[in-house]
Structure 1
Amino acid sequence: MTDITASASGVPVPAPAPASTPAFVAATRTFYDAIAEDYADHFRDELTSRPLERAVLAVYAELVGTGGRVADLGCGPGRTTGRLASLGLDVSGLDLSESMLAIARRENPGIRFEQGSMLKLDLPDGALAGVVSFYSTIHTPVDELPALFTELHRVLAPGGHLLLAFQVGDEPRRHDRPWGRPVTLDFERRRPEQMEKLLAGAGFAMLSRTVREPDADLAERVPQAFLIARRPLAPTP
């Protein structure tokens, strides 16, 4: 749980992260704690205006199968989590930001949401039928991605599916003082080929790659990528 203290102005702010917390994790948590309500309001109808994303989620849900246990990692305010639940999955959400989780719990009272880092999941090996990382690896440095994907592979059962979404590109985009909040964070863009290579290195088999062009009506600047990969079935003895 994120501890909250008060600033001199009386506005709640997160307490400092433990010394053992990686700097990029602490920065991500602080950023989203600061903008949670603004973010949730701005992207409230995001999936409504994005039919391709809804289609990708529907395909993913069919691959996992009704009732499959899925973790939505970096769930934010829980919009994708709620969509997956409506598609018949047994889904829970995990996020660094307790402020985001408060919104997710408020808007999805029947879904379990927990605070934590996807870099080290409190789950036994092979516990999940699916893992979703919808734009939640974009704050993880590239040299940390192999360890992250190895962890996601660990918690998936053989035959389990991973859905990964991210913006396409080579240069990060810096968000400085969004909605006037005194925080800054870089949003990393990746190439699908780069991510597929890293996933293969962690033991995943690729199933599909979907890339759509930026939508000018949504003020997007770069293409959006959606990868579905699978932990292979264990070989027959």
Structure 2
Amino acid sequence: MQEQPQQMVARGYDAVAERYAELERDAPWPRLAWLDDLLARLPGGVRVLDLGCGNGLPAGERIVRRHRLTGVDVSPRQVELARANVPAGEFATGDILALDLPRGAFAAVTAFYTFDHLPRERLPEMFGLVHGWLAESGLLLCCVEVEDTPGVVADWLGAPMYFSSYEPGTSRRLLTGAGFDILRDEIVAQLEGGHEVSYLWLLARKR
């Protein structure tokens, strides 16, 4: 039976968790600058959901300074690391498209380098789920790659990994179509293991 994308992503991140953590040490990624913008828009003590939380660093550690963090990742190894790195957060292993979370429970949702590991045809469904989990006027911060990639498996840090993405115009359209108003968006390049990769960053508010 063919391995499903979420199974491949879980197995891949289990295998490369420590190597992945080294990538951001080559050059700062834009993640924290965007996260700080999001957090500055929130009152203290609210609930924040981090989809694809990884090992909890650096985003989870920053979130728990003033807010209540729930992190979810498909990789058991990454969740294990997150619990050790950010003991003040709550973390669970799971497929983000299959989560059973209460509606309106979160003031903000973040997803860093996460949605590109979903089949792109399920991105509208993902945005719809996030819309439901957010409280009134809640915020979503996410990034997606900018290539028109219908779904590929590539060697990534020595492990097979699934990737899929739309070009930026489609990603923006799907987000607004799911009931969000885009507050900020920008294409930003970053270095990953000596290679430049561009992402569309999106900060949006639930209508």
Decide which of 168, 171, 175 is 1:199's aligned counterpart.
175
Q: Which one has a bigger Cα radius of gyration?
A: 1
Q: Which residue of 2 aligns with 1:230?
A: 205
Equivalenced residue count is 204
1:189: how far off?
A: 4.0
Structure 1 residues 177-211: Cα deviation after superposition (integer angstroms, max 9, x where no partner): 624xxx31133343332111111221111111022
C-alpha contact 1:131 1:162 (8 A) present in aligned 2: yes
Q: What are the equivalent positions in structure 2 for 1:100-119 lying under 5 Å apart? A: 100-119=78-97
Q: Distance in 2 between matches of 1:142 and 1:90?
A: 30
Q: Which residue of 1 aligns with 2:17?
A: 36
Q: Distance in 1 between matches of 2:94 and 2:147?
A: 28
Deviating beyond 3 angstroms after TM superposition, the runs of 4 or more aligned structure 1 residues are 43-46, 171-175
Q: What are the equivalent positions in structure 2 for 1:83-162 lying under 5 Å apart? A: 83-86=62-65, 88-162=66-140
Where 1:81 maps in the other structure, the secondary structure is helix
- What TM-score does the superposition give when structure 1 sets the normalisation length? 0.77
* Residue identity opposite 1:199 in structure 2: L
C-alpha contact 2:120 2:165 (8 A) present in aligned 1: no
The structure-2 alpha-carbon separation of the partners of 1:64 and 1:192, relative to structure 1 and needing over 3 Å to count, comes to: farther
* Residue identity opposite 1:104 in structure 2: A
Decide which of 10, 23, 28 is 2:4's aligned counterpart.
23
Where 1:138 maps in the other structure, the secondary structure is helix
Greater CA drift, 218-227 or 23-32: 218-227
C-alpha contact 1:64 1:160 (8 A) present in aligned 2: no
Structure 1 residues 52-93: Cα deviation after superposition (integer angstroms, max 9, x where no partner): 43221111001233222111000111112112223x222121
Which sections of structure 2, spanning at least 5 residues, go unmatched? none
Q: Which residue of 1 aligns with 2:157?
A: 178
Q: Distance in 2 between matches of 1:164 and 1:77?
A: 17
Q: Given the alignment of the two structures, is residue 165 of structure 1 paired with residue 152 of structure 2, yes or no?
A: no
Q: Given the alignment of the two structures, is residue 208 of structure 1 paired with residue 187 of structure 2, yes or no?
A: no
Percentage identity across paired residues of the two chains:
32
Q: What are the equivalent positions in structure 2 for 1:63-102 lying under 5 Å apart? A: 63-79=41-57, 80-86=59-65, 88-102=66-80
Q: Distance in 1 between matches of 2:84 and 2:190?
A: 31
- What TM-score does the superposition give when structure 2 sets the normalisation length? 0.87
* Residue identity opposite 1:36 in structure 2: A
* Residue identity opposite 2:8 in structure 1: A
Structure 1 residues 128-162: Cα deviation after superposition (integer angstroms, max 9, x where no partner): 10110111101111111111111111110111000
C-alpha contact 1:120 1:151 (8 A) present in aligned 2: no
The structure-2 alpha-carbon separation of the partners of 1:219 and 1:132, relative to structure 1 and needing over 3 Å to count, comes to: same
Q: Distance in 1 between matches of 2:52 and 2:156?
A: 21
The structure-2 alpha-carbon separation of the partners of 1:200 and 1:177, relative to structure 1 and needing over 3 Å to count, comes to: closer
